């Protein structure tokens, strides 16, 4: 049986979902990360933190 992994990397967190061959959701996880504001109206992500949370 095959499984499929979907990863969504958003502004405030990342989500990973595993589906089976019929499209049924097997597992779901969500991890948040910090948003860095260096100037008013600006938002920056620490790419190392994003990758760490996406693949932890």
Binned at pLDDT 50, 70 and 90, residue 20 comes out as: very high
Alpha-carbon gap, residue 31 to 12, rounded angstroms: 9
Tally of domains within the chain: 1
**What is the percent of the chain where pLDDT is above 90?**
50
- Entry pTM: 0.71
Give the residue numbers spanning the domain of 22: 3-54
Pick from 9, 11, 5, 7: which is nearest to 35 by CA? Answer: 11
């Amino acid at each position: 049986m095959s499984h499929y992994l979907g990863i969504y990397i958003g502004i405030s967190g990342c989500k990973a979902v595993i589906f089976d061959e019929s499209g049924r959701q097997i597992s779901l996880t969500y991890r948040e990360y910090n948003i860095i504001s260096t100037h008013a109206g600006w938002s920056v992500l620490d790419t190392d933190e994003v990758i760490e949370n996406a693949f932890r």
